[in-house]
Structure 1
Amino acid sequence: MITTNVWSVEQLPDEKLGPELAAAAAQLRDGGLIAFPTETVYGLGADARSSFAVGRIFSAKGRPSDNPLIVHIANRQQLDELVLPYPQLASALMDSFWPGPLTIVLPARPDVLSPLVTAGLASVGIRIPDHRTALALLELAGCPVAAPSANRSGRPSPTLARHVLEDLDGRIDGVVDDGATGVGLESTVVELVGDQMIRILRPGGITLEALRIAAPHATIDSASLEEPEVAPRSPGMKYTHYAPKGELVLVQGAPDAVTAYIHRQVERAASSGERTGVLAFEERLQGYKADRVLSLGSEAELETAAHRLYAALRAFDEGSVQRIWSESSSEQGIGAALMNRLAKAAGNRVVRV
C-alpha cells in the first residue's frame, strides 16, 4: 500500500501555491499519481508521456484500457508539441472556452504521448482547466498531464478531496485539496468533422447553446451521444459511470406522475425491508418519505443540481441505501449533461411515466 500525501491549499493565497505544490509537481514528473482539483471534478494526474505513469492510472482506478484519457495542459504553447495542425474552428473554440471545461479531440502527434492515453486512436482530447490550483500544478510539473476523474472506475466522480480518499487512499501518491470543485460535472468533449462541424461526444460544463453562440456558422451534431461505442473516442461514452452502490432508477414524465410513481416504488421497497433514497428537486422535496431524501436544488437552477449530483450519489452510499429513484430535469443548457450523468449512473434504467 502506498502512503497517500495530502496537500491542503484551500486557505492559501495564490502567491503561496507554488512552494506548497512543488513536491506534488515533482512527483508528477517522476511518474507519480497526483489527484488535483479542477473547475469540473478532481482529476487523477500522471505524466501523459510516460506509459509507466499512465499505466498506474488504469491500475489505481480499475479503468478499462480501451477508454482514452484527457490530457491537461497549462497553456496553448504546449499544443504544438502534442498535436498535428488542426482546423481554424478548433482555434475559435479555444479562444472562446479555454481555460474552461471544454475538451477538444485533436490529431495526436506520433510518438509523443503514451499510447495508453489515446487507447490506440490517432487523436487525443486536450483541455486547459480553469482552476488556479490545477494551472499552478501543471505549470510547475512542466509536462502534459493525463487526468481522468480521481475515483474508482464506475463510481461517482469526486468533487471533494475526501471523495478521492474514499476511493483511492493507499493507491495513489497524493491529493491536492483545494476544497469543492465548481461545475461539478466533467468537461464537454467535442471532435471536429471537417472545417465546419462540431460533434459532441460527451455533454458537460460547456453547453450546446454556448457552442452555437461561439461557432454560429458551424453545424453541431449530438447524435453520437446515442450511438453504442465499440471503441470509445472519448471518456464517458461506453461504460456505466458515476454509479452509487445502490440501484438507481431515473424517472421521467410529468411532475405529478413522477412523484406518484416514486411514492409507490419507495413504499414497495420499504415494505420489503430495503433502505430507500430519493433524489429530487426542491419544489417537491418535502413530499417524499424515504430513508434518505436529498435535494438537487431548484429545478430552475440546474447549475446547482450539476454541482450537487456526485456528492449526493456518494451520500446515498454513506447511508447504505439500496434502492434510489431520481427525478429528471429539462435537457436545456447544463441539463443535457445532468441527464446524461444520471442515465449513466442508473445504468440506463430509465422509467417513463
Structure 2
Amino acid sequence: MEYINTKNWLVRPAQLDEAIIQQAAAMIKKGGLVAFPTETVYGLGANGLDRKAVAAIYCAKGRPSDNPLILHVADTSMVKDLSRNLPDKASLLMRKFWPGPLTLVVPKAKHIPVEVTGGLDTVAVRMPDHPVALALIRASGLPIAAPSANQSGRPSPTKAEHVQADLQGRIDAILDGGPAGLGLESTVLDLTSKVPVILRPGGVTYEELKEVLGDVIIDPSVLGKKLPKDQVPRSPGMKYRHYAPTSPVILFEGEPHKIKTAITERAQALLAQGKKVGILATEEQAQGYPPQAKILKLGTRENPTTAAASLFSRLREFDQLHVDVILVEGIATTGIGLAIMNRLRRAAVEKFEC
C-alpha cells in the first residue's frame, strides 16, 4: 500500500490539547485512520459509518474482512442510533459498566455498513473509559470503528511505540496518551440470545456479569474450541490466530509446580539443541529456570491484573530479544485470568496440560 506520512502527537490525558484532538477528529471525518489510547489497548479508529474508511482499517492491519469491528461511542444516546432494537439488558449493563471494558453485541441498525459487522445482522458497541478516546469521539461526532491498532495477528498494542512499530507509514496519525491501563481488550457480550453469551473475555469478568445478570454463558470458542472455517465469527478474537509474537509460543497449563517442571525440562532440551529460549514466568516461579534462557516476568498469580497489564508488552519484548521459542506459564482461569488464558491460547502454536 502507499506510504503515508503518519503524524505522531503526544497528548496528556489529564490536560488535553484541544487543537490536537480537533485535528485528529478532522482526519476521522475525512475518512482517515487515527490510532488512539483506550483503557484497554490502543485502537485504530475510522468513521464507523463510512464504508471506505472502515475498509481502510482492514487494509492497514491486514485483517480478514469477516472479522467484525467494534463501534466506540461517547454516550449511551449514540447507541440508540446504532441498534434497531436495543435489548432491555443493554440499559442495565451500560449503567453498571460504562464507560468501561464491556462491549455489547446488539441487533444492528440498517445504516451500519456491512464492513463493520463482518456480514452479520448484529453490531458490537462500547463506551471506552479514557479521556483521549472520549474526546476524539465527541469531536468527530461519529461512532468510531476501532479494532486494536496493530498488524493483524500480532500482540495488541498497549503503548504508542507498539503502534508505531506495526503501523507507522500505513495510517494518518497516532495519539500517544501513554500506556494503556488494563492491557487486555474489552469483554464482548452477545445480548441477542435469551441468555447473554461471552464471546470474548476481557476487563469485565464472567463473575461480575453473572452477579448482575444471573445467567451468563461462556462461548466454547473462549475455552479453545475452534470455529468451523465457514462460520462467520460473531466477535473479534473468535476465529483467527491472534496476539502472537514472531517466535512460536508454547503454553503450559495445570498445577504451578508441574508447569515449572515441564517448562524446565523443555527449556533444557531446546537449549541443548542450540535454540535461544524465552520463558514467560509468573513472579512466584521466575527463579530457578535454566540461566541460559531469557526470562521475563508476567506478573503475579496472586494478583493477575498485573499479568494482564504486562502480557502483550512482554510478548513483544521477546521479539526484540530474538528468541527462537517462548515457553509460557499458564495461570488459573478465574476472574481476569480467563481473559489472559484466552489470549495465550490464541497465541500458542502448542499447548500442554501438566
Indicate conservation of the 8 Å contact 1:17/1:133, yes or no.
Answer: no
CA distance in 1, matches of 2:126, 2:255: 38
Secondary structure (helix, strand or coil) at the match of 1:287 reads coil
For 1:13 and 1:315, the matched residues in 2 are separated by: 28
Alpha-carbon offset, residue 17 of structure 1 = 3.1
**Shift of residue 253 of structure 1?**
2.0
Q: Tell me the amino acid that sits aligned with residue 136 of structure 2.
A: L
5 Å matches for 1:16-31?
16-31=16-31
Q: Distance in 1 between matches of 2:219 and 2:83?
A: 26
Match of 2:149 in 1: 150
Q: Judging changes above 3 Å, is the alpha-carbon distance between structure 1 residues 188 and 13 closer, same or farther for their aligned structure 2 residues?
A: closer
Give the match's secondary structure for 1:286. coil
Deviation at 1:18, TM superposition (A): 2.0
Cα distance, 1:261 vs structure 2: 1.2
Q: Deviations over 1:207-245 (max 9, x none)?
A: 0111012223xx111033344332100000000000011
Matches of 1:193 and 1:172 in 2, distance apart? 34
Q: Please tell me whether residue 281 in structure 1 is matched to residue 277 in structure 2.
A: no
Secondary structure in structure 2 of the residue aligned to 1:310: helix
User: Contact 1:104–1:191 at 8 Å: present in 2 too?
Assistant: yes
Match of 2:262 in 1: 261
Residues 1:245 and 2:246 are matched in the alignment:
yes
Sequence identity (%)? 46
Report the secondary structure of 2:36's partner residue. strand
1:79 aligned onto 2:79: yes
2:338 matches 1:336 = yes
SS at 2:191 equivalent: strand
2:11/2:175 contact within 8 Å kept: yes
1:190 is paired with a residue whose SS is strand
Once the two structures are overlaid, the 10-residue window that deviates more, 153-162 or 86-95, is 86-95
Q: CA deviation at 1:169?
A: 0.5
**Structure 2: distance between partners of 1:6 and 1:252:** 40
SS in 1 for 2:99: coil
Q: Is the 8 A contact 1:104 1:125 kept in 2?
A: yes
Rounded to whole Å, the distance in 2 between the matches of 1:120 and 1:297 is 39
Q: In structure 2, the residue corresponding to 1:46 is in which secondary structure?
A: strand
Q: Secondary structure at the match of 2:296?
A: strand
**What amino acid sits opposite 1:160 in the alignment?**
K
Residue by residue, what CA displacement relative to the aligned partner does 1:34-85 show, whole Å, maximum 9, x if unpaired?
Answer: 0000000000000011111111110110000010001101111111221112
**Residue aligned with 1:200, SS:** strand
Give me the whole-angstrom Cα distance separating, in 1, the residues matched to 2:17 and 2:226. Answer: 43
User: 2:201 & 2:87 partners in 1: Cα distance?
Assistant: 21
Instruction: Tell me, yes or no, if structure 1 residue 220 matches structure 2 residue 220.
Output: no
Q: 1:343 to 1:23 in 2, by over 3 A?
A: same
2:320 aligned with 1:324, yes or no? no
TM-score of the superposed pair, with normalisation by structure 2: 0.95
Moved more, 290-299 or 98-107: 290-299
Q: Distance in 1 between matches of 2:218 and 2:299?
A: 27
Aligned-partner residue type, residue 66 of structure 2: D
Query: How far off its partner does 1:202 sit?
Result: 0.4
Distance 1:30 1:333 in 2: 41
The residue matched to 2:81 in structure 1 has which SS? helix
- Deviation, 1:7, is 0.9
Paired amino acid for 1:207: T
User: What aligned pairs does 1:121-270 form with structure 2 within 5 A after superposition?
Assistant: 121-194=120-193, 197-216=195-214, 219-225=215-221, 226=223, 227-229=225-227, 230-270=231-271
SS at match of 1:2: coil
- Counterpart CA distance in 2 for 1:79 and 1:253 is 42
- The corresponding residue for 2:56 is 56
After TM superposition, the structure 1 stretch with the greater mean CA deviation from structure 2, 113-122 or 303-312, is 113-122
Task: Tell me, yes or no, if the aligned pair for 1:99 and 1:130 is still in contact at 8 Å.
Answer: yes
> Structure 2: which 5+ runs fail to align?
none
Asked if the contact 2:252/2:259 (under 8 Å) is kept, the reply is: yes
How many residues of Structure 1 are paired with residues of Structure 2 in the alignment?
A: 346
Letter in 2 for 1:336: L
Report the alpha carbon displacement of residue 19 of structure 1 after superposing the two structures with TM.
2.1
Whole-Å separation in 2 of the counterparts to 1:162 and 1:352: 35
Task: Give, in whole Å, the separation in 1 of the partners of 2:193 and 2:46.
Answer: 31
Q: Calculate the TM-score normalised by the size of structure 1.
A: 0.95
Residue 193 of structure 1: CA displacement? Answer: 4.3
- 1:194 deviates by 4.4
On the 8 A contact 1:17/1:136 being kept in 2, the answer is no
Per-residue displacement from partner, 1:7-26 (whole Å, max 9, x unpaired)?
A: 1013x643x43222111110
Structure 1 residue 68 corresponds to structure 2 residue 64: no
Structure 2: distance between partners of 1:352 and 1:123: 36
